[in-house]
């Protein structure tokens, strides 16, 4: 039970080790029949995310008996308070001396008090620095699990803390001093400067394994924790190697091999004294478990990544960018005619440094520019001026709005998305045709016309999809239960529901009960696939209209990570094909496997991972950007204006300041881009 990213990049290795696996994404609850599984993995964000309540006390009671009788429970804890409390009760019932702490870790330098938002895309590698000779009283007492929680571990003969020195799991680069004993599986049994990756406990005849949410920066977010060295990007080979080795470790537990060696490197054992949960506004549900899950709720595990579908890009400019690797930066491009000298400076810098593409959100001017004919003329005139300057420097541009823009949409009467508890979050429903006709269609048409005027400069539209000012960074499955969206499902599946004698019942389900009703009846899978088809049809209609103006029009998007919900999958399914892929920029350094997986479902993407300008320093740029270009389709940097700081630059973290003098940064970027371009020609 997990987010798709965990399946696609981690759990996919289970069948490789002869596991027979059921991946139950669409029924995120345990049932009585689950006692027959030898292992249960409750992975982060039990579907859908976020949820006001996931685990129940009935599930806790079931798992106590399951583990005691010999089952293996693997829990990748998320920052859901309800789950944390119930898991702690589970650990207490099993006499496992581990507790999940609810305190937030505050990084004074970065300024983040927890994860940026409760989503899969803003997490740090969850690591603990373990030192062999730690002075008494100063021992490390927490296994960090992202910024939102930590594990407290007390001494016990039935506790083991496997550690690793794979570089992708480290926050500190002191790897050469590791003196641990490496097992054949790549799991370390001890040694200085290794990192703890999980807590394993014997309980009755079984085991319980607690892992922080993403093990080792699974999605490859590149970040820096305070003033420490940069966390290596997740595309390194060691990352997948560790994931495979961890599956081997689980396999060894199942085979009853002697892989459990009690090991606890922590030297302070007073962690649990006085520990108590003080939940605020959390009501634990008792509930009852179903006997068996409904039929047809499992996802397929049959995809073979070796047979990924090849792109056959017909837009020559995009094809050249992908072939030579995209080297891009994120710049605001509003009202550039009022800053002609600044635009020239920017373009010259980017051209000299070897960049070839700009992603430009036109947040300030796009919607205002289409309010009336006079404003439209001024908007088009300014953008035409910008394009003429970019053309002179042989730079490509993707331009457009952020969707949705709260300042623009808050006055509109669109249908709003509603979460599984029936509460609207203010974001326009993706299935509201008024939203498409008002916010998406007019801008795309104007950009298509301009791209005909500047065919090798303006490639198409760039759509910033981060939901600024709303509850979640992206529209997830959890925000899919408003009247318009739900009724789309009911009407599209009217005959299907009538044949099940459920149509009238479906019509009358209240918003806050819709998720539970769909889950109980085994309809979540068909619900979200129906919504995906609906948004794909709307997107295809828009795509056909735009391509009548410019057949080579390129759609591009920014999202914090590679989202897997019905909205984005349907959107990109309707806009893409092997000949006309969507260009997606995210912060995920390990996107290729997800991109290949989506291609098997008819969604074709060109993916470029991104980096924050205040993250890397010195040769870290070369290592990271060249790695992105080698494993993905290129890279993008944010915010671009940080490159153009003058000699008065100052070291900073919260103001996007770069970490080295501007002339040094220019030199390393130029050298790196030249290396990437040269390598792509071979």
Looking at the DSSP assignment, which residues form a beta bridge with residue 292? none
CA distance 543 to 541: 5
pTM of the predicted model as reported, rounded to 2 decimal places: 0.85
* 254, 269, 288 - which closes a domain: 254
Whether 174 and 45 map to the same domain: the answer is: yes
Is residue 229 in a domain?
yes
In a domain, residue 578? The reply is yes
Give the C-alpha separation, 454 to 384, whole Å. 9
Instruction: Give the whole-angstrom CA distance, residue 440 versus residue 86.
Output: 44
* The domain boundary residue, chosen from 235, 254, 273: 254
Q: What Cα–Cα distance (Å) separates residue 449 from each residue in 317, 318, 444, 541?
A: 17, 18, 9, 17
Query: Residue 227 falls within a domain, yes or no?
Result: yes
Residues 226 and 361 in one domain: no
Cβ contacts of 424 within 8 Å, gap of 6 or more: 416, 417, 418, 482
DSSP symbol at 208: E
Say if 9 falls within a structural domain.
Answer: yes
Please indicate, yes or no, whether residues 192 and 110 belong to a single structural domain of this protein: yes
Cα 111 from chain centroid (whole Å): 21
Measured between alpha carbons, how far is residue 133 from residues 138, 192, 256, 267 in Å? 10, 8, 32, 9
Residues 218 and 344 in one domain: no
CA–CA dist 100, 194 (Å, integer): 21
Q: Are 358 and 328 in contact (CB under 8 A)?
A: yes
Average pLDDT per run of 10 along the chain, which is 682 residues long?
65 79 83 95 58 75 97 76 85 87 48 30 30 32 38 72 50 34 36 56 91 56 57 55 74 78 50 66 84 85 60 95 96 86 95 96 60 78 94 95 61 80 81 86 91 96 77 70 95 98 97 90 92 96 97 93 87 96 90 85 93 84 89 92 77 67 94 96 80
Q: Is residue 518 domain-resident?
A: no
Residue of 551, 607, 591, 572 lying closest to 328 (CA atoms):
607
How many domains are contained in the chain? 2
In a domain, 64, yes or no: yes
Same structural domain for residues 220 and 103?
yes
Domain residues for the domain of 10 are: 4-254
pLDDT in the model for residue 442: 85
Q: Tell me, what CATH number does 181's domain have?
A: 3.40.50
pLDDT at 634: 96
On whether both 57 and 162 belong to a single domain, the answer is: yes
Q: Residue 440: what pLDDT? A: 84
pLDDT for 583 equals 98
Three-class secondary structure of residue 174 per DSSP: coil
- Asked if residue 488 is part of any domain, the answer here is no
**Do both 226 and 98 map to the same domain?**
yes
Per-residue tokens: 92: 């207490």
Tell me: do 243 and 361 sit in the same domain.
no
User: 28 and 173 in one domain?
Assistant: yes
Residue 191: both structure tokens together: 């040694």
Q: Which tokens belong to 581? A: 């892929």
Co-location of 389 and 240 in the same domain: no
Closest by CA position to 551, among listed 594, 531, 580: 580
Strands 72-76 and 206-211: parallel
- Does 505 reside within a domain? no
CB count in 10 Å sphere of residue 6: 23
Does one domain contain both 675 and 554?
yes
Domain stop point among 199, 226, 254: 254
Name the token pair of 438. Answer: 């008002």
CA–CA distances in Å: residue 456 to residues 394, 401, 485:
8, 21, 39
Nearest 5°: the CA angle 519, 71, 128 is 90
| Number of neighbours of residue 620 by Cβ within 10 angstroms | 20
Confidence (pLDDT) at 413: 79
End-to-end Cα distance, the chain: 43
Residue 572: which CATH number?
Answer: 3.20.20.80
């Amino acid at each position: 039970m997990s987010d798709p990213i965990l399946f696609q990049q981690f759990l996919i290795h289970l069948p490789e080790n002869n596991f027979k696996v059921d991946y139950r994404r669409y029924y995120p609850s345990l049932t009585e029949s689950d006692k027959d599984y030898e292992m249960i993995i409750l992975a982060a964000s039990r579907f859908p995310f976020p949820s006001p309540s996931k685990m129940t006390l009935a599930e806790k009671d079931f798992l106590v008996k399951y583990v005691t009788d010999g089952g293996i429970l693997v829990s990748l804890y998320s920052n859901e308070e309800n789950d944390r409390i119930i898991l702690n009760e589970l650990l207490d019932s099993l006499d496992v001396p581990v507790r999940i702490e609810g305190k937030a870790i505050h990084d004074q330098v970065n300024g983040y008090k927890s994860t940026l938002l409760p989503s899969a895309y803003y997490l740090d590698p969850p690591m603990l620095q373990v030192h062999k000779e730690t002075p008494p009283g100063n021992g490390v007492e927490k296994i960090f699990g992202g910024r939102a929680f930590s594990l407290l571990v007390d001494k016990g003969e039935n506790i083991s803390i496997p550690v690793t020195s794979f570089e992708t799991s480290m926050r500190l680069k002191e790897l050469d001093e590791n003196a641990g004993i490496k097992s054949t599986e790549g799991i370390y049994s001890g040694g200085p400067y290794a990192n703890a990756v999980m807590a394993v406990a014997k309980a009755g005849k079984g085991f319980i394994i607690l892992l922080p949410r993403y093990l080792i920066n699974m999605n490859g977010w590149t970040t820096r924790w305070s003033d420490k060295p940069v966390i290596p990007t997740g595309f390194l080979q060691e990352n997948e190697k560790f994931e495979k080795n961890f599956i081997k470790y689980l396999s060894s537990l199942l085979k009853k091999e002697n892989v459990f060696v009690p090991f606890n490197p922590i030297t302070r054992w007073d962690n649990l004294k006085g520990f108590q949960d003080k939940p605020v506004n959390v009501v634990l549900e008792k509930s009852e478990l179903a006997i068996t899950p409904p039929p047809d709720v499992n996802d397929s595990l049959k995809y073979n990544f070796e047979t990924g579908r090849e792109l056959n890009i017909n837009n020559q400019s995009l094809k050249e960018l992908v072939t030579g690797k995209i080297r891009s930066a994120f710049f605001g491009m509003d009202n550039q005619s009022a800053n002609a000298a600044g635009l020239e400076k920017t373009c010259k810098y980017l051209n000299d440094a070897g960049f070839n593409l700009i992603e430009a959100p036109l947040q300030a001017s796009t919607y205002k520019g289409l309010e009336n004919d006079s404003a439209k003329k001024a908007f088009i005139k300014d953008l035409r001026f910008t394009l003429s300057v970019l053309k002179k420097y042989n730079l490509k541009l993707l331009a457009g709005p952020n969707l949705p823009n709260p300042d623009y949409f808050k006055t509109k009467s669109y249908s709003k998305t509603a979460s599984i508890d029936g509460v609207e979050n203010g974001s326009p429903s993706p299935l509201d045709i008024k939203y498409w006709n008002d916010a998406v269609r007019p801008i795309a048409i104007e950009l298509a016309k301009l791209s005909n005027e500047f065919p090798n400069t303006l490639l198409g539209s760039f759509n910033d999809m981060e939901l600024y000012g709303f509850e979640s960074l992206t529209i997830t499955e959890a925000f899919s239960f408003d009247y318009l969206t739900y009724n789309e499902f009911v009407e599209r599946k009217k005959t299907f529901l009538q044949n099940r004698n459920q149509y009238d019942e479906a019509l009358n389900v209240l918003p806050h009960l819709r998720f539970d009703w769909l889950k109980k009846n085994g309809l979540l899978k068909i619900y979200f696939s129906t919504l995906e088809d609906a948004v794909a049809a709307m997107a295809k209609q828009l795509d056909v209209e735009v391509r009548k103006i410019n057949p080579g029009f390129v759609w591009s998007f920014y999202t914090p990570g590679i989202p897997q919900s019905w909205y984005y999958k349907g959107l990109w399914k309707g806009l893409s094909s092997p000949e006309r892929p969507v260009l997606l920029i995210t912060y995920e350094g390990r996107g290729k496997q997800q991109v290949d997986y989506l291609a098997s479902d008819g969604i074709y993407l060109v993916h470029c991972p991104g980096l924050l300008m205040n993250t890397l320093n010195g040769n870290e740029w070369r290592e990271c950007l060249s790695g992105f270009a080698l494993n993905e389709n290129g890279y993008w940097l944010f915010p671009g204006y940080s490159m153009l700081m003058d000699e008065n630059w100052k070291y900073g973290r919260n103001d996007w300041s770069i970490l080295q003098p501007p002339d040094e940064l220019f030199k390393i970027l130029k050298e790196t881009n030249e290396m990437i371009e040269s390598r792509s020609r071979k």
